């Protein structure tokens, strides 16, 4: 009787993991102090900035995958932009094109510098 | 219809009369049909909830006084307000917090106070005392905290194809449709971004065109006016007149002329960028998809979401409301919600309640089946069938009465029914058995014999039922939130008992008359091997005084040994064990001074941890605010938590019926990674599992009081990083002493300012616009469903730090522009810290959760330590129940420990009262003071089973176990009562004492075992429940031990008493 009560219904089959193609993208690895401005804020290439459902930010390479990172962006120059908050200064940023990049896409990095 | 045959000269008692009326009445069949119909209706109509609804009226009162320090707020606002409120009737606690410029007082009324009346009194009290508040305080904001505000359904809309504003707009549109479902009340959208018209001013251009912030503010305000100005009457017609023009779009805002420069108009868009959009991001809400996600998986791991939260109206059925909402939602997918938006129902309390109730109804069925099988084995199938018919009748009548009494069907109600099941078959069994015995005689009038049979057992049966009822009733007086939580048990068990009695006297004899067939041989079967064994042992015990004494001594020693088990921690106490839930929360608080982006990173890292688990379907990430509030969050003060340092992850698991692993295990598996993350980031991360019973602010909580707040804070910090951090099983140790954070104070040089003709007020106002932005009315966008404010602000890039003040200017009356940096200097200080109060006394809380085990022992360990050690040079005076003195530094243990003490105190007193009542009833019945004591001797015998049972199964002795012990008192008295009754009968019939004792035991052996087995098997199904397992263990092991021992101890006890009485008062003993 206890066994009857303890037996569970079978759960719906979980959706398979999303199979995303590995993308090859140019990346930039931030380094201190080269990428820090005189106020101590981090400078990143302007073209690394993108939007994810309206949030401003960048795609950061984490464990071989592109992950979106929300940023507060300060002054934007011609080639660089100042990040007021959101980066620690040692991240690897993915550069465009961003069309096929999803949150969690596997990325094969190619160093742009 | 012929009246039943002649009845005996002795008048029938109430049971006999009931039977006489119903045994051949046509009404009986109607009663059966009515009961079945009422039960079915009740089962469908009664609102279903997972747990009983606990009414705890509470409210937050927020009072702002700009510029006041926490100390000022405490002295001028919070202290007087708390004093005023504590004078009100029905107030349980007041919790005050004095922040910078803001005072918050949370008022908690006593459990069960009328919500509306309490809130009306609260408003009245506050409004009539507003004159006592210092000048400059804003009108108080009163937020009632209501269980019915807690959303029962949350729906997440997620996509990256829409921006925050469009997503929110979509969610609001969907909400407008869903709101029309009947029974919904509060409904709102969390997440996305509110639409705003941002006027982002460029300080350089403003200077070039000689425009100041104040001018812009004034002009926009003046341009955005439309006043109904009366009417024109001409040509016999009347037309209403509106003067002015509203700003209807970002374009119109940009086209406002702000000043003239070189005789040309300067438009707002010349000096500013006007953006119609989301503005600055203050909160982030996202949904992540775990391994167990069963819908088509999005390409992204996490997506921005907007959550629609819908609460239900009080008194409506969560199941039907949720169904109606979700039905409407399905219709919207497509016409309103685009296909690329991922729609997920992240909370459905209706379905949760329904499945909880259905599972238990299933369990009830299993329990009924087990009892029926038992009855067939013991009584034969005909008698068993009759008893079986009565079971659903009794349950249905109980449900119908519960429905009429305004109760809900919840887990506790159904546990009460399962618990009652073992008891309610008894009445019918006793009646049927006796009728069966009567029918064995040849050539009888069936109706008459049935009435006689009922009449015969009526009195003891009534008494036994009454004993069970009075055992349960005192439980109604349990105080605090546990009272209403447990209330369905003392409410429904007595109802079930009374209806079982009624059914046993009406339906059972009616059915017996029609169907029961007696075998004349049934009476003559000889004693079975059990009875023969019992007889042999009893004879041995009765014949030798030494053996008898040895036996009784063994029992007493056994009892003493069992009672010592808690001391040696073989049995551990806890209020309630954890529940297996379908979701849990992880709350995050990053260091003071952290940005939203920092918090978001911690929250996202948590997402990475939970996503790896096999049972996670989805999880909601929130940063900058909390997600949709739940009941425990509401009482923990989640509605007050917002700001960039706050975050939360709500983790949703596969339904518990579909997973083999408990949420407790899942949390235990995740905890190491979460702890590592907390250590790495320095953030305060707590895993909050929804408690099965009433929620507490923290599982382990120490309230530190003392005369000087600074010292109290130091003591609290010492406790936090010392004692608490080094106590085993404590996790998420926290205190209300915040980390130091920076505050930049812009000090105005009054002399310079006066020279230039600028007031410090102008500087402050300008600075606010510069940093926070100021609101300047709302744009009148015709189709917007939420107000669209116009905000003036300066570009983020131009306001990053103190070095940017040189770019902001104030204009003096002469029109000269002075940079702020010329008048001010920036001083870096530590930010003032909030002050907490409880019941008008300054307090610092040190809190912790438990990874596993019971908080009782962690607290006892710390209590023992603090008794012998000082903290920060102070010996703390510790209290559990009473208020600590305000002259010394002291500590009160609160949290679950306090609740546990209260509950066991209340249940203990309920037990005491129950025993007193049972004794009174028995004294009334036996007209003796001594015999009831022998009868009640079976009550302590239950403990011999209860404690070892808990130790054997490694379960905590919980509040439900205690309820089991109280129930046992009623149950086991019944056995010994019938035993003593038979002994007395045999003695009255002239048997010698020894024979009477042995014969009574042999005759009662079978029915007593049947009753005991019915209870044990009926409640066995409850053992699998994490919460009510304790109740089942108590009942099963308590009944087992008590039944076996009762059969020997009670007759022996009576034997000893009778022998003693014969020796001393021979004439009185013969009367007994």
Classify residue A32: in a domain, yes or no. yes
Chain B residues within 8 A of A16 when measuring between CB atoms: 297
How many helices (H) and strands (E) are present in chain B, helices listed first?
Answer: 34, 31
How do residues B866-893 score in pLDDT, each as one tens digit?
999 988 888 888 888 787 777 889 999 9
pLDDT band (50, 70, 90) for residue B765 = confident
Peptide bond into A97 cis (omega under 30): yes
Residue A96: CATH number of its domain: 2.40.420.20
Asked if A55 and B164 come within 8 Å (Cβ–Cβ), the reply is yes
CA-to-CA dists, residue B783 to B76, B169, B221, B307, B1056, angstroms? 45, 11, 21, 21, 90
Alpha-carbon torsion B625, B628, B629, B633, what sign?
negative
Residues 6+ apart with CB under 8 A from B793: B198, B199, B200, B201, B280, B769, B772, B773, B774
pLDDT one-digit tens code per residue, B897-926: 888 888 899 999 999 999 999 999 999 988
Q: Taking each helix axis from N to C terminus, what angle separates B488-515 and B411-439, rounded to the nearest 10 degrees?
A: 30
Cβ-in-10-Å burial (0-12, 13-18, 19+) of B742 comes to exposed
Query: What's the pTM value of the predicted model, to 2 decimals?
Result: 0.88
How much is the pLDDT for B1069? 45
Q: Is residue A14 part of a domain?
A: no
Among the partner-chain residues A6, A17, A53, the one whose CB lies closest to the CB of B1024 is A6
Determine how β-strand B272-277 pairs with β-strand B264-267: unpaired
Q: Are A41 and B800 in contact (CB < 8 Å)?
A: yes
How is B956-971 classified by DSSP, letter by letter? -B-HHHHHHHHHHHHH
CB proximity list for B311: less than 8 A, separation 6 or greater: B148, B149, B150, B151, B152, B184, B185, B186, B187
Residue B754 predicted with pLDDT over 90: no
User: Chains A and B: how many Cβ contacts under 8 Å?
Assistant: 129
With tokens 């140019």, the residue in question is A26
Distance of CA B241 to the CA centre of its chain: 56
3-state secondary structure of B758: coil
Name the closest residue on chain A to residue B801, using Cα atoms. Answer: A39
Arithmetic mean of pLDDT, B549-564: 91
pLDDT in tens, B821-853: 888 888 888 888 889 988 888 899 999 988 888
pLDDT, residue B797, reads: 60
Sort strands B237-245 and B225-234 into parallel, antiparallel or unpaired.
Answer: antiparallel
Q: Write out pLDDT tens, residues B223-280.
A: 887 778 888 888 888 888 877 777 888 888 888 888 888 888 999 988 888 888 887 8
pLDDT in the model for residue B1041: 92
Copy the structure tokens of residue B889. Answer: 């530094």
pLDDT band at residue A37 using 50, 70 and 90 as cut-offs: confident
Name the nearest CA neighbour of B670 among B592, B586, B729, B767. Answer: B586
Q: Are A12 and B294 a contacting pair at CB < 8 A?
A: yes
Q: What is the pLDDT of residue B1066?
A: 56
pLDDT given for residue B1028 in this prediction: 86
Least confident of B192-196, B391-395, B881-885, B1026-1030: B881-885
Q: Is the predicted pLDDT of residue B221 greater than 60, yes or no?
A: yes
Would you say residue B337 has pLDDT above 80? yes
Q: What's the structural domain count of chain A?
A: 1
SS3 B644: strand
Q: B157, B158, B160: which to substitute to probe chain A, counting the most A Cβ within 10 Å?
A: B160
Q: Do A82 and B596 touch (CB under 8 A)?
A: no
Residue in chain B nearest A67 by alpha carbon: B301
Domain that holds residue A49: 27-105
Question: B-chain residues within 8 Å CB-CB of A69?
Answer: 597, 601
Say whether A53 and B163 touch across the interface (CB within 8 A): yes
* Alpha helices in B612-708, H assignment, sequence order: 631-636, 663-681
Q: Note the residue count of chain B.
A: 1072
Cβ-based contacts of B370 with chain A (< 8 Å)? 1
Average of pLDDT values for B987-1015? 86
Average model confidence (pLDDT) across chain B: 86
Q: What is the pLDDT of residues B352-405, one digit of tens each?
A: 888 888 888 888 889 888 888 988 888 788 888 888 888 889 999 999 999 998
The average pLDDT across B1046-1060 equals 88
Share above pLDDT 70 across residues of chain B, in percent, rounded to a whole number: 97
Does residue A87 lie in a domain region?
yes
Instruction: Answer left, alpha or beta for residue B482, where phi above 0 means left and psi between -120 and 50 means alpha.
Output: alpha
Q: B735, B716 in Cβ contact below 8 A? A: yes
What confidence score (pLDDT) does residue A46 get?
93
How close, in Å, is residue A89 to chain B by CA atoms? 13
Contact B300 A102 (CB under 8 A): yes
Contacts of A2 in chain B (CB under 8 A): 1020-1021, 1023-1024
CA distance B660 to chain A (A): 7
Half-sphere exposure of residue B807: CA atoms within 13 angstroms, side-chain side: 19
Instruction: Tell me how far apart the alpha carbons of residues B707 and A94 are, in angstroms, rounded to a whole number.
Output: 57
Residue A55 falls inside a structural domain? yes
Beta-carbon count within 10 A of B624 CB: 21
pLDDT of residue A2: 43
For residue A5, being part of any structural domain is answered with no
d(Cα B216, Cα B1033) in Å, to the nearest integer? 74
Which residues of chain B lie closer than 8 angstroms to A74, CB-CB?
Answer: 796-797, 800
ipTM value for the complex: 0.92
Is the model's pLDDT at B454 over the cut of 60? yes
Residues of chain A contacting residue B598, judged by C-beta atoms under 8 Å apart: 85-86
d(CA A39, CA A41): 6
pLDDT score, position B701: 92
> Which pLDDT band holds residue A113 (cuts at 50, 70, 90)?
low
Contact A103 B293 (CB under 8 A): no
A62 in a structural domain: yes
Report whether the peptide linkage leading into residue A33 is cis, meaning its omega lies within 30 degrees of zero. Answer: yes
Residue of chain A with shortest Cα separation from B654? A11
Residue A97 lies in a domain: yes
Q: A13 and B159 in contact by Cβ < 8 A?
A: no
Cross-chain Cβ contact B301/A15 below 8 Å: no
């Amino acid at each position: 009787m206890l066994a009857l009560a303890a037996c569970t219904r079978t759960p719906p089959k979980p959706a398979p993991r999303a199979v995303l193609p590995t993308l090859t993208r140019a990346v930039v690895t931030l380094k201190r102090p080269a990428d820090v401005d005189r106020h101590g804020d981090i400078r990143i290439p302007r073209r690394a900035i993108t939007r994810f459902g309206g949030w401003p930010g960048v795609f950061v390479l984490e464990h071989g995958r592109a992950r979106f990172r929300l940023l507060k962006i300060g002054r934007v120059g011609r080639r660089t932009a100042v990040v007021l908050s959101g980066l620690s200064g040692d991240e690897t940023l993915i550069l465009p094109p961003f069309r096929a990049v999803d949150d969690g896409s596997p990325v094969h990095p190619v160093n742009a510098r | 219809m012929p009246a039943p045959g002649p009845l005996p000269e002795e008048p029938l008692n109430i049971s006999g009369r009931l039977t006489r009326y119903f045994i051949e009445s046509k009404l009986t069949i109607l009663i059966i049909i009515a009961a079945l119909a009422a039960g079915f209706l009740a089962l469908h109509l009664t609102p279903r909830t997972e747990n009983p609804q606990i009414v705890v009226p509470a409210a937050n009162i927020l009072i702002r006084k700009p510029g006041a320090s926490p100390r000022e707020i405490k002295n001028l606002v919070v202290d007087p307000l708390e004093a005023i409120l504590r004078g009100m009737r029905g107030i349980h606690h007041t919790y005050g917090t004095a922040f910078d410029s803001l005072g918050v007082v949370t008022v908690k009324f006593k459990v069960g106070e009328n919500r509306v009346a309490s809130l009306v009194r609260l408003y009245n009290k506050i409004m009539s005392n507003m004159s006592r508040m210092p000048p400059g305080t804003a009108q108080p904001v009163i937020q009632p905290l209501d269980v019915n505000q807690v959303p029962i359904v949350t729906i997440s809309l997620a996509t990256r194809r829409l921006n925050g504003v469009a997503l929110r707009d979509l969610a609001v549109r969907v909400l407008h449709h869903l709101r029309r479902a009947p029974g919904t009340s509060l409904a709102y959208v969390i997440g996305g971004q509110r639409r705003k018209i941002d006027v982002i001013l460029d300080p350089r251009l403003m200077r070039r065109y000689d425009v100041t912030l104040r001018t812009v503010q004034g002009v926009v305000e003046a341009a955005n006016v439309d006043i109904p100005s009366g009417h024109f009457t001409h040509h016999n017609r009347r037309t209403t007149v509106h003067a002015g023009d509203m700003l209807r779009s970002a374009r119109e805002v940009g086209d406002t002329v702000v000043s003239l420069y070189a005789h040309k108009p300067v438009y707002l868009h010349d000096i500013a960028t006007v953006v119609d959009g989301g503005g600055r991001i203050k909160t982030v809400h996202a949904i992540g998809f775990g391994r167990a996600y069963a819908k088509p998986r999005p390409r992204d791991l996490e997506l921005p979401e907007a959550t629609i939260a819908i609460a239900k109206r009080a008194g409506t059925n969560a199941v039907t409301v949720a169904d109606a909402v979700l039905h409407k939602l399905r219709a919207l997918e497509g016409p309103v919600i685009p296909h690329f938006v991922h729609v997920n129902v992240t909370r459905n309390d209706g379905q949760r309640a329904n499945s909880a109730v259905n599972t238990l109804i299933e369990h009830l069925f299993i329990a009924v089946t087990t009892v029926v099988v038992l009855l067939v084995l013991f009584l034969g199938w005909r008698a068993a069938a009759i008893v079986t018919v009565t079971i659903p009748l009794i349950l249905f009548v109980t449900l119908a009465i519960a429905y009429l009494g305004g109760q809900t069907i919840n887990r506790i109600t159904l546990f009460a029914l399962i618990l009652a099941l073992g008891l309610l078959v008894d009445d019918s069994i006793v009646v049927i058995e006796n009728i069966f015995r009567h029918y064995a005689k040849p050539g009888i009038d069936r109706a008459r014999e049935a009435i006689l049979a009922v009449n015969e057992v009526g009195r003891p049966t009534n008494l036994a039922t009454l004993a069970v009822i009075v055992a349960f009733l005192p439980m109604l007086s349990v105080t605090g939130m546990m009272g209403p939580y447990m209330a369905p048990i003392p409410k429904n068990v007595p109802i079930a008992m009374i209806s079982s009695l009624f059914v046993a006297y009406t339906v059972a004899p009616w059915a017996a008359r029609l169907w029961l067939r007696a075998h004349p041989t049934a009476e003559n079967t000889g004693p079975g091997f059990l009875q023969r064994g019992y007889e042999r042992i009893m004879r041995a015990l009765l014949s030798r005084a030494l053996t008898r004494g040895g036996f009784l001594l063994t029992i007493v020693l056994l009892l003493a040994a069992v009672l010592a088990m808690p001391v040696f921690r073989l049995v551990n106490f806890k209020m309630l064990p954890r529940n297996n839930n379908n979701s849990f929360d992880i709350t995050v608080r990053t260091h003071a001074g952290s940005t939203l982006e920092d918090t978001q990173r911690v929250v996202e890292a948590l997402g990475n941890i939970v996503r790896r688990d096999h049972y996670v379907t989805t999880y909601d990430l929130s940063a900058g605010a909390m997600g949709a509030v739940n009941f425990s969050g509401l009482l923990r003060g989640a509605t007050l938590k917002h700001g960039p340092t706050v975050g939360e992850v709500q983790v949703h698991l596969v339904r518990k019926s579909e997973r083999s692993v408990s949420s407790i295990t899942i949390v235990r598996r995740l905890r190491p990674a979460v702890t590592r993350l907390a250590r790495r980031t320095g953030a305060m991360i707590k895993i909050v599992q929804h408690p099965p019973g009433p929620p507490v602010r923290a599982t382990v909580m120490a309230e530190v009081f003392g005369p000087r707040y600074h010292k109290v804070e130091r003591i609290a910090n010492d406790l936090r990083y010392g004692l608490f951090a080094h106590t085993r099983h404590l996790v998420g140790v926290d205190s209300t002493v915040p980390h130091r954070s920076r505050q930049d104070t812009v000090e105005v040089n009054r002399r310079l300012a006066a020279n230039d003709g600028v007031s410090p007020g102008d500087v402050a106002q300008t600075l606010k616009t510069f940093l926070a932005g100021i609101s300047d009315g709302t744009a009148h966008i015709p189709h917007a469903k939420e107000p669209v404010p116009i905000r003036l602000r300066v570009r983020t890039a131009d306001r990053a730090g103190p070095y940017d003040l040189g770019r902001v200017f104030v204009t003096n009356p002469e029109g000269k522009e002075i940079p702020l940096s010329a008048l001010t200097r920036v001083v870096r200080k530590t930010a003032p810290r909030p002050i907490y109060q409880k019941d008008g006394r300054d307090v610092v809380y040190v809190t912790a959760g438990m990874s596993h085990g019971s908080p009782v022992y962690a607290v006892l360990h710390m209590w023992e330590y603090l008794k012998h050690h000082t903290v920060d040079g102070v010996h703390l005076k510790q209290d559990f129940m009473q208020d600590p003195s305000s002259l010394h530094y002291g500590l009160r243990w609160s949290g679950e420990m306090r609740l546990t003490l209260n509950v066991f105190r209340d249940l203990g007193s309920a037990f005491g009262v129950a025993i007193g009542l049972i004794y009174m009833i028995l004294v009334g019945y036996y007209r003796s003071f001594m015999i009831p004591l022998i009868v009640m001797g079976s009550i302590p015998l239950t403990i011999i089973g209860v404690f070892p049972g808990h130790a054997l199964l490694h379960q905590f002795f919980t509040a439900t176990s205690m309820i089991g012990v109280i129930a046992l008192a009623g149950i086991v008295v019944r056995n010994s009562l019938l035993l003593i009754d038979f002994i007395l009968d045999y003695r009255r019939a002239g048997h010698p004492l020894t024979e009477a004792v042995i014969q009574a035991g042999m005759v009662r052996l079978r029915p007593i075992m049947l009753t005991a087995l019915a209870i044990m098997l009926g409640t066995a199904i409850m053992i699998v429940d994490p919460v009510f397992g304790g109740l089942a263990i108590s009942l099963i092991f308590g009944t087992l031990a008590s039944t076996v021992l009762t059969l020997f101890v009670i007759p022996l006890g009576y034997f000893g008493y009778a022998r003693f009485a014969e020796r001393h008062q021979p004439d009185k003993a013969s009367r007994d």
